[in-house]
């Protein structure tokens, strides 16, 4: 193995060149190079078009900066957090760099695909992966693992306009079952919409390390246990809207009560107002929207005026108090 190939954002190369330089495979979308301490990720959004979907591409910046979404390994059936997907998810814990490439046409001489190097990335330390519903190679709906990739500090990614996610062509609503996507692993702290087991983590994000407290995730997990104990069935939805990029995912849907919940990690006016707006948006799209009820889930009792605000908008209130939740069970519809 030789490591004479300099990885410079914007360079055009091939999988053969990367494999020869770093000793990795060249046929899969996620290729670990064990000896070189690297993981190479190859994204090809056009490859998903034959199945009518793709989750790969440059997403809108958020409070933590630039973001690229990448669909995990596995063409058929539900994708699992193992094998190559696990190598990608835990590249930091394994001491490996992560490098992102995007397909850039075909080489004129061989017909093999060219690869444009975007730059060194890292899996988002706060919200690393989420479940999306999409069509597999066998034309059947399945769960896909969509990884959130961030440029590492000091990296200037070689984005182009072609890298932006394309808007959806039609509106679709898919149920998403509540199940873990991150396996237990000693020393690893994760947050995702299905499993929240730690109260805080230290994340490397723009501006340096920052301690992130996961109150909202812990609140949702505690309430799910309460729902289950009461014999209620819960899940969520993936709402894809025509002409828009990405998907809406409500925090929680109690199918037993036909109730939609939006959780907030802090009981503040700005959070309550945001939850009301999100619920108004979500409820228009869920099945039997005309009869669905909505509620805000909070970690503590809000002020009297915020209670009045929720009541005036027809929004129920459920909040945590000790080991129980005030407001649940809800009154009969």
Q: What is the pLDDT of residue 3?
A: 55
* Domain match, 117 and 181 both: no
* Domain match, 39 and 89 both: yes
Q: What is the pLDDT of residue 197?
A: 37
Q: What is the pLDDT of residue 22?
A: 94
* Domain match, 76 and 190 both: no
Q: How many CB atoms lie within 10 A of CB 246?
A: 18
Total domain count, the chain: 2
CA torsion angle 163 167 172 175 (round to 10): 40
Q: What is the pLDDT of residue 147?
A: 95
Q: Per-residue pLDDT tens for 71-111? A: 999 988 889 999 999 999 999 999 999 999 999 988 887 77
Q: Which of 118, 135, 158 is the last residue of a domain?
A: 158
* Domain match, 222 and 249 both: yes
Q: What is the pLDDT of residue 208?
A: 44
Flag residues of the chain having pLDDT under 50. 1, 180-213
Radius of gyration of the chain, Cα coordinates, nearest whole angstrom: 22
Domain containing 278: what range?
167-333
CA torsion angle 67 73 79 85 (round to 10): -70
CATH code of 14's domain: 2.30.280.10
* Domain match, 237 and 274 both: yes
Q: Per-residue pLDDT tens for 268-325? A: 999 999 999 999 999 999 888 899 999 999 999 999 999 999 999 999 999 999 989 9
* Domain match, 333 and 195 both: yes
**pTM of the model as a whole:** 0.68
* Domain match, 148 and 204 both: no
* Domain match, 177 and 87 both: no
* Domain match, 151 and 171 both: no
* Domain match, 221 and 257 both: yes
* Domain match, 154 and 179 both: no
Q: What is the pLDDT of residue 178?
A: 54
CATH code of 206's domain: 3.40.1350.10
Q: What is the pLDDT of residue 209?
A: 42
Q: What is the pLDDT of residue 243?
A: 83
* Domain match, 258 and 110 both: no
Task: Return d(Cα 231, Cα 210) in angstroms, integer.
Answer: 39
Q: Which of 137, 158, 179 is the last residue of a domain?
A: 158
């Amino acid at each position: 193995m030789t490591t004479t190939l300099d990885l410079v954002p914007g360079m055009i190369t091939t999988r053969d060149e990367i494999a020869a330089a770093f000793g990795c495979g060249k046929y899969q979308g996620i290729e670990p190079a064990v000896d070189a301490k690297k993981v190479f990720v190859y994204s090809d959004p056009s490859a998903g078009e034959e199945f009518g979907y793709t989750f790969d591409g440059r997403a809108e910046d958020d409070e933590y900066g630039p973001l690229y979404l990448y669909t995990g390994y596995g063409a058929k059936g539900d994708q699992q957090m193992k094998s190559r997907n696990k190598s990608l998810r835990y590249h930091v814990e394994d001491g490996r760099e992560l490098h992102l490439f995007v397909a850039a046409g075909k080489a004129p001489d061989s017909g093999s695909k060219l690869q444009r190097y975007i730059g060194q990335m890292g899996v988002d330390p706060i919200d690393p992966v989420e479940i999306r519903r999409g069509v597999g190679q066998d034309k059947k709906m399945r769960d896909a693992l969509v990884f959130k990739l961030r440029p590492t500090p000091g990296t200037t990614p070689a984005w182009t306009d072609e890298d932006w996610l394309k808007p959806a062509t039609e509106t679709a609503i898919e149920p998403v079952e509540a199940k873990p996507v991150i396996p237990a692993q000693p020393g690893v702290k994760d947050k995702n919409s299905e499993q929240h087991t730690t109260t805080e983590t230290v994340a490397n994000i723009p501006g340096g390390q920052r301690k992130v407290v996961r109150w909202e995730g812990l609140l949702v997990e505690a309430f799910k246990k309460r729902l289950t104990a009461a014999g209620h069935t819960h899940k969520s939805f993936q709402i894809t809207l025509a002409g828009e990029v990405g998907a809406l995912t409500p925090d929680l849907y109690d199918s037993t009560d036909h109730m939609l919940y939006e959780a907030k990690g802090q009981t503040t006016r700005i959070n309550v107002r945001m939850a009301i707006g999100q619920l108004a948006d979500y409820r228009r799209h869920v099945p039997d929207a005309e009869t669905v009820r909505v509620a805000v889930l909070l970690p503590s009792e809000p002020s009297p005026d915020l209670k009045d605000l929720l009541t005036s908008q027809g929004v129920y209130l459920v909040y945590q108090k000790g080991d129980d939740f005030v407001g649940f069970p809800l009154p009969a519809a």
